[in-house]
Amino acid sequence: MNVFRLAGDMSHLLAIIILLLKIWKTRSCAGISGRSQLLFALTYTARYLDLVTNWVSLYNTVMKVFFIATSYATIYLMYLKFKATYDSNHDTFRVEFLLLPVTILALVLNHEFSFMEILWTFSIYLEAVAILPQLFMVSKTGEAESITSHYLFALGSYRLLYIFNWIWRYYTEEYYDLIAIIAGVVQTVLYCDFFYLYFTKVLKGKKLQLPA
Amino acid sequence: RFTSVLHDEL
């Protein structure tokens, strides 16, 4: 554990809390992509099945349980409790275009051809692109509420902080995991355009609005 | 055998 990894995890935690609070306080999930949330739930389920086979630390276990539980809680709020506020006609990204290549890639490019390892690899690749339906939704409607922007900023920062953690681990432990690193870089790059808009608009008190 | 690779990150 180093400061970058901890900051990354805290940023990830914060993103989830912001999202849940936004939905709960406003009693609405307007502007949030249910498809991205479904992909995140699939990501955490596939990755954290190792809860039952592999003990790392109490910290890891608590975080894994939290990520799995909150991802399903989000889906429950979006698709059941506040279903009437879900903006489904703007949430039209075809997730099979992500799931199919990610599945094939996981079967071909992995550390070991075993059940748990392929699930882990699948989750790493899927997480990298899982935000695309959300970003697609923002670009389709041309805007995002400030709170949604803060959520996206915290979620995007998390993998960026992990990249610093991997650099740190490479120099201090000689540890590196190429699959996680490359997927993490792709994941972070997908947020670059959003980061730019966040700094130039949202932080100056303006709404995130894309030029027509 | 499930896997021999150990992942200690989240």
- Summarised one tens digit per residue, pLDDT across range A117-147 is 999 999 999 999 999 999 999 999 999 999 9
Structure confidence at residue A68 (pLDDT): 98
Total tally of structural domains belonging to chain A = 1
Whether residues B4 and A50 touch (CB distance < 8 A) is answered with: no
Residue A82 lies in a domain: yes
Flag residues of chain A having pLDDT under 50.
none
pLDDT-derived band of residue B5, with 50, 70 and 90 as boundaries? confident
> Does ipTM surpass 0.95 in this model?
no
Residue A109 lies in a domain: yes
Residue A210 lies in a domain: no
* Residue numbers of B between 1 and 10 with CB closer than 8 Å to A: 1-10
* Chain pair A-B, CB pairs under 8 angstroms: 39
Domain hosting residue A90, numbered range? 3-204
Average pLDDT, chain B: 82
3-state secondary structure chain A: CCHHHHHHHHHHHHHHHHHHHHHHHHCCCCCCCHHHHHHHHHHHHHHHHHHCCCCCCHHHHHHHHHHHHHHHHHHHHHHHHCHHHCCHHHCCCCCHHHHHHHHHHHHHCCCCCCHHHHHHHHHHHHHHHCCHHHHHHHHHHCEECHHHHHHHHHHHHHHHHHHHHHHHHHHHHCCCCHHHHHHHHHHHHHCHHHHHHHHHCHHHCCCEECCC
Residue A209 lies in a domain: no
Structure confidence at residue A211 (pLDDT): 79
Residue A77 lies in a domain: yes
Residue among A5, A9, A112 whose CB faces B4 most closely: A112
Residue A131 lies in a domain: yes
Residue A191 lies in a domain: yes
